[in-house]
Homo-oligomer: A and B are copies of this chain.
Amino acid sequence: MRIGELARRAGVSTRALRYYEQQGLITARRSANGYREYGETDLRLVSEIRSLLAVGFTLEDARPFVACLRAGHALGGSCPESVAVYQRKLAEIDDEIRTLLTRRAEVAAQLTTACPGCVLRKAGKP
């Protein structure tokens, strides 16, 4: 299939596909006229990329997952490098959550100082 069809099927823009290729995440055969030609495998790769991006991974993070799929594994996450990324990401997410919780508390405290009674109560505590 050509780039337009892959884009439709994967739910991404053609621009995104070319960008992934430029970043070395996917590759494409070229037909005689220079058009990119993709197979079903590529759809799988792009889907993997999208689902990773959707949970906050970067394209860089996605690299080992794609490599893992291309190596023939059924799950992009089943290779050691992917597992390492998973674990690093979990740690990063936990960090961000902690940061946000701290910030939330600071902002709420400031708001309380500036305007006692202005802080919205959390549900469940009437």
- From B86, B96, B107, A110 is in contact (CB under 8 Å) with B86
**Is A15 at the interface (CB under 8 A from chain B)?**
no
Q: Chain B's nearest CB lies how many Å from the CB of A81?
A: 11
B103 and A100: CB pair below 8 A? no
Binds B, one of A3-11, A17-25, A34-42, A113-121: A113-121
Contact partners of A90 in chain B: CB under 8 A: 104, 107-108, 111, 119-120
* A87 x B120 contact (CB < 8 A): yes
Q: Give every chain B residue within 8 A of A78 (Cβ-Cβ).
A: 114-115
Assess A107 versus B89: contact at CB under 8 Å? Given A77-B113, A113-B77: yes
Q: Are the CB atoms of B75 and A107 closer together than 8 Å?
A: no
Q: Does A16 make an interface contact (CB < 8 A)?
A: no
Could you tell me the distance in whole angstroms from the C-beta of A110 to the nearest C-beta in chain B? 6
Contact of A56 among B94, B103, B113 (CB under 8 A): B103
Q: Check if A55 is an interface residue, CB within 8 A of chain B.
A: yes
A-B contact pairs, 19 of them (CB 8 A): A55-B103, A75-B113, A75-B114, A77-B110, A77-B113, A77-B115, A78-B114, A83-B114, A83-B118, A86-B114, A86-B118, A87-B111, A87-B118, A90-B119, A93-B100, A93-B103, A94-B104, A96-B100, A97-B97
